[in-house]
Chain A
Amino acid sequence: MSTTATSPVPGKPQPGKPQPDTQGATEKAPVLSAKPVTWKVPVLLTVLGVVAFIFFGVMGPNQTAKFGISSSGDFFQLPAIEVPAFLGGIILSVLMLGLAAYALYLKTRNEPSPGWVPVVFIVLFVAAFLIWVVGGARTPSISLAGLIAGSVTLAVPLVFGSLSGVLCERVGVVNIAIEGQLLGGAFTAAMVATLTKSPFIGLLAAAVAGAVVSMVLAVFSIKYLVNQIIVGVVLNVLVSGLTGFLFSTVMQADKARFNSPGRLPIIDIPVLSSIPVIGPILFKQSVVGYLMYIAVIVVWIGLFKTKWGLRVRAVGEHPQAADTMGIKVNATRFWNVTLGGAVAGIGGSFFTLVAIDSFTKEISGGRGFIALAALIFGRWNPIGAFFAALLFGFADNLQSIVTIIGTPVPSQFMAMLPYLVTVLAVAGLVGRSRPPAASGIPYVKG
């Protein structure tokens, strides 16, 4: 994990003009000294810690929260974890405040907080939040295994989407069109799988469809030098309109012939899938689910351990240098963006081949944008993006579970959570997230 040190950025407030600010501490944040350590992380952690202490601790519920770990079909049974919500909230929030104090202490010595501090803080915060939510519910008991398994399932398209984003942005092309790639993949998967009566061919077709959407992005942004964000935004609208139009005219007219793709089978690896908690997550997935793990690992190894990855990153960070070294910048960009689209397309097939077995309008429901957020939250790193996507899947799943067990928190706020977290993330909770330097900038030789 990188440090939280912020280099002077153009667009930062000037030192000569301190602006009025109600949060006293952040006032000193933008100092254009040689190596400033910002107040952002310590202050944010302190604020969140205090919030956690007040809400999860002092005002915490008095019930005992019960978290089931094993499901009935498991290899061996583990006892459920029972936490007194009040005590748990107090302990966890005190730990959080401790971390915040540590970050503040480091700040006074002008040292950046190490990367693990915010990560541990987030884990603690999520745990305290869970205890608080479950402890305050009508039935203070949830299955942790089910919660996590459901989160992974919901995260599948997000992971694919954010991997697509990683592949594109690492090579210097901003991919706002993830949503369109997912949607295109979902539509094509449903259509082709129904026509060929094979979900596997549908899966392949989804990859092709995603790649085609991406190629439009690539052609317009690389050959015609159109602003990449514009192309991305417009492509989302285009794919939404196209799939919506074809859905209304073709699919709805004859559902049996065009829109009943059938599902990809869930492949259950014997014995291993009976391990509590991790069994269902790792060894009881559809092909798309297994592909997700493979894709994350392959993309990570590819980007950081191979010659290809080095070239890709060089193109994304400094295309001129890469060009000087004989790398074909625009060709690399084109094929990488196409590959990214194919990955997102596979993710899109999840909607129509795994989750439900038919296509409806706007089936991706804005998940492409969450994938974009996951990509940034995960700092343009495949592994980071994977865990960020898991976190968003977790929030999504928690929202539906929480509605069932009945908590005092309105479900709309739970739904809002991923977006709020992303705002905090991009505003600097997890250090400064730095995109590849040439991301969004077309390359013109000469």
Chain B
Amino acid sequence: MTEQDRPKHVADENAVEDRENQAPAEDAAATTALDTAGGAMQPSAVPVSAQSGTVPGGPETLVRRIFTGSGMVSVLAVLLALILGGLLIASTDKQVGTTAGYLFARPSDFFSAVWTAATRSYVALFQGSVFNTRGSSVAVQFAPLMETLTIATPLITAGLGVGLAFRAGLFNIGAQGQIIMAGILAAWVGFALHLPLGLHLLLALVAGIVGGAVWGGLVGLLKARTGAHEVILTIMFNYIALYFLRYLLNTPAFQRPGESNPISPILDPTAVYPQIFGTQYRLHLGFVLAIAATVFVWWLLNRSTVGFEFRAVGANPKAALTAGINVPRATVLVMAIAGALAGMSGVAQVAGTEKVLTDGVAATYGFDAITVALLGRSTPWGTFAAGLLFGAFRAGAVQMQIQTGTPIDIVLVVQSLIVLFIAAPPLVRALFGLNPRKKKAATAGMSKKAATTGGAA
């Protein structure tokens, strides 16, 4: 493990560069609340490096990312969460309960029952999300994978939105509301206007993106103008959007004629995403757009001036202000772009997966997007991968519930545990016995503050 002696090495030789590398590169999310929550706190009360989850190190290459602590911790965190989830499944299993009765007489029965209960669910989860070994043809065998990609689509785009805001130091809990507003506009364009093929879909897409961008940008504007905390604003905006949608679905303009339930007319065929691999799968063009969005966000963050400003604001708003960056403008802009990305999820829902507008248009994608972004460490491709993983969980959970009776809620547990563990690398290391030696080594020649960094690394 090369990073074991890294902190000391780097801190001794090039502390400044160390700090520079850490702050913007890794956990913009972690630095977020430092400056946004209080607002009035004196600078450097808490070193950014003291935040958990930062990995000191040089420029990150892909290979490095995988094999350094960060990548390792991610894998271990997922593993740990799956183990705990398996234990939870086993704890409510009937067979486990029975064998626990004679645990001391024949412990092997008990442990095999625990193993069976947990693995049975996970095997079903895998079959429902990646590859169905019992399928009769190749098409059927790969159907779960297509379903995973379909569900991952809105997760990826909304996750990108949340992650982008994280990088600028903003906690965007509002993807849910942004998806809803986008869904409303895109759906309305889809069923109320009747336009030629191509133009219709394009307009629906633009309408949705604009809807999300406005809803997100409004939060940015309020924050920039009044200093209101974006967490509260976005939570409130979620509810406002939801009730607005419910209201609309009861008006003649949105409710399907002759229908008493709050449901909109079906979108015109000209306004829906074409299905990529034929009509047998639900996978639609939205997934391709999600890939494009990932590339766009990567470019924006890593190659554009605006993205640099975002990251600078996220790392230290005061320093950014001093450096001449227009912080309020960056706040509004990043929230608008985040909203636009979440808006793409809304479009994917109404124009791709659902083809109608209901009050469940956003499902829980907006909230899942937060965990997706956290798991992806707010990097575009990390978010993409996390979106795929959680999409697989979602898709597989349905099959798991049908086959083994394990409730879908287990996915929520596993998801949240993953994020919790990833956010606290020292805990994961401690649980896997990777921590103690390093902590001693780090403490040896450094101050206590730096020791925390070493422990976190």
Contacts and interface: CB of A to CB of B under 8 A. Distances in A.
Interface stretch (A53-61, A114-122, A438-446): A438-446
Given A11-B224, A12-B328, A416-B244, A224 B424 contact: yes
Provide the main secondary structure of the chain B interface: helix
A216 to B, nearest CB: 8
B22 to A, nearest CB: 14
Contacts of A12: 224, 227, 328
B32 A227 contact: yes
Interface in B104-145: none
A419 interface: yes
B34 A233 contact: no
Contacts of A29: 225
B447 A446 contact: yes
A413 B92 CA distance: 42
Interface string A230-251: 1101110110111011111110
Given A241-B416, A246-B92, A444-B47, A226 B53 contact: yes
A423 interface: yes
Given A9-B39, A442-B50, A427 B328 contact: no
A444 B240 contact: no
Q: How big is chain B's contact interface, by range?
A: 35 or more
B409 A227 contact: no
B240 A423 contact: yes
B32 A229 contact: yes
B243 A441 contact: no
B236 A419 contact: yes
Given A11-B227, A437-B41, A419 B240 contact: yes
B37 interface: yes
A377 to B, nearest CB: 10
A416 B243 contact: yes
Most chain A beta-carbon neighbours within 10 Å: one of B35, B232, B448, B452: B232
A320 B45 contact: yes
Contacts of A432: 227
Given A373-B236, A442-B51, A14 B246 contact: no
Contacts of B318: 10
A250 B92 contact: yes
Interface string A1-45: 000001101111110010100000010011000000000100000
A434 B227 CA distance: 10
A359 to B, nearest CB: 14
Contacts of B236: 373, 419-420, 422-423, 426
Contacts of A423: 222, 228, 233, 236-237, 240
Given A372-B232, A416-B239, A416-B244, A174 B33 contact: yes
B39 A226 contact: no
Interface residues of A, number: 73
A84 interface: no
A380 to B, nearest CB: 12
A369 interface: yes
Given A249-B407, A445-B448, A412 B231 contact: no
Contacts of B37: 174, 229, 435, 439-441
B243 A412 contact: yes
A415 B448 contact: no
Contacts of A412: 243-244, 246-247, 250
B413 interface: yes
Interface in B77-104: 88, 92
Interface string B11-36: 00000000000000001011011111
Contact of A410 (B229, B247, B409, B410): B247
Contact of A226 (B228, B370, B424): B424
Contact of B416 (A225, A237, A247, A415): A237
A437 B34 CA distance: 11
17 contacts: A10-B318, A29-B225, A174-B33, A225-B52, A225-B456, A226-B53, A230-B29, A234-B423, A238-B420, A372-B232, A410-B250, A416-B243, A423-B228, A423-B237, A426-B226, A437-B41, A438-B41
Interface of A: 6-7, 9-14, 17, 19, 26, 29-30, 40, 174, 176, 220, 224-231, 233-235, 237-238, 240-242, 244-250, 320, 361, 366, 369, 372-373, 376, 410, 412-413, 415-416, 419-420, 422-423, 426-428, 432, 434-446
Given A225-B52, A226-B424, A416-B244, 19 more contacts: A10-B317, A13-B225, A26-B225, A176-B231, A220-B420, A226-B52, A235-B420, A237-B367, A361-B409, A376-B232, A420-B236, A423-B236, A423-B240, A428-B226, A435-B37, A435-B229, A437-B38, A441-B46, A442-B46
